[in-house]
Structure 1
Amino acid sequence: MQDPLAALPHGPEFRFVDAIETLDPGKSATASYLVRGDEGFLAGHFPGNPLMPGVILIEAIAQLGGVVAQSDPAIPPLENLLLTGVRGAKILGVAKPGETLTLKAEVEGRLGGMIQVSGEVSVGDRPLASAKIMLSGQESAS
């Protein structure tokens, strides 16, 4: 896969993975995202004290999980891959503009068009979030 981030259907305004640091295709990855400070949602979360929303941290795990799942060389990419479930989510800390998030995602299992992923987000050695997520998509009819 030339550009693993091309597997994401998101536009740049809603992409929370800047760079893939490591990728074991179909199995796991690490990535980074710089909280720039100009993200539109930061103006209201919170005025004068911008903090990356916890749900966006979970979304970042889902996006990286999607990249991992779609990179498996033995399994064709799924169509319309979406985040369809979140379990055991924990928001443990906050990120502020100027901080670089480290994202980790690992595919724990697959069953047809369903993929379970575990992931975490940190800044340095400070954990910010963790979750198990479910991604679902359609197998191509080819």
Structure 2
Amino acid sequence: MSALDSLPHGPEFRFVDELTDLDPGKSARGTYAIRGDEGFLAGHFPGRPLMPGVILVEAIAQLGGVAAQSDPEVPAVDGLLLTGIRGAKILGAAVPGEVLEISATVEGRLGPMIQVAGEVTVGDRKLATAKVMLSGQ
């Protein structure tokens, strides 16, 4: 079982294809290749598809969840969900054929609440930054 298997999402809504680095319970780096056949791209925008900024933030949350749930010292949180977004900035756009590079760092935990900071880049272009709150039962 890979750490990505801790994601509760179906394959159609996973925005991390591969883990490139994992410091269990602390941080992770991963990638997502924008294929171009994702259903939401057909309408965002017809003839000029762009990866939605909210999905860039979702990718940070998903990768943060992988990092947090992999902590060997802390039991996994049941029902972990994205429950808050702070300080999100959408700084650029990505298009089909590009590979998102995602990073997430667990900044703190309080019981079933986890704060994560992350960013998404393509090469040297920073596309998004955000702090997200994940929580569960």
Which TM bucket (shorter chain)?
over 0.9
Aligned mates of 1:97, 1:9 — CA distance in 2: 25
Query: Structure 2 unaligned runs (5+)?
Result: none
The reply to whether residue 118 of structure 1 matches residue 122 of structure 2 is no
SS where residue 51 of structure 2 aligns?
A: coil
* Shift in Å, 1:46: 0.0
Query: Structure 1 unaligned runs (5+)?
Result: none
The reply to whether residue 58 of structure 1 matches residue 57 of structure 2 is yes
Spell out structure 1 runs of 4+ moving beyond 6 A.
none
TM-score with structure 1 length normalisation?
0.96
1:38 maps to 37
SS where residue 79 of structure 1 aligns?
A: coil
Mapping for residues 1-142 of structure 1, pairs under 5 Å: 2-138=1-137
User: What is the letter of the counterpart of residue 125 of structure 1?
Assistant: D
Aligned mates of 1:22, 1:54 — CA distance in 2: 23
Aligned mates of 2:136, 2:18 — CA distance in 1: 24
Aligned length: 137
* Shift in Å, 1:47: 0.2
SS where residue 136 of structure 2 aligns?
A: strand
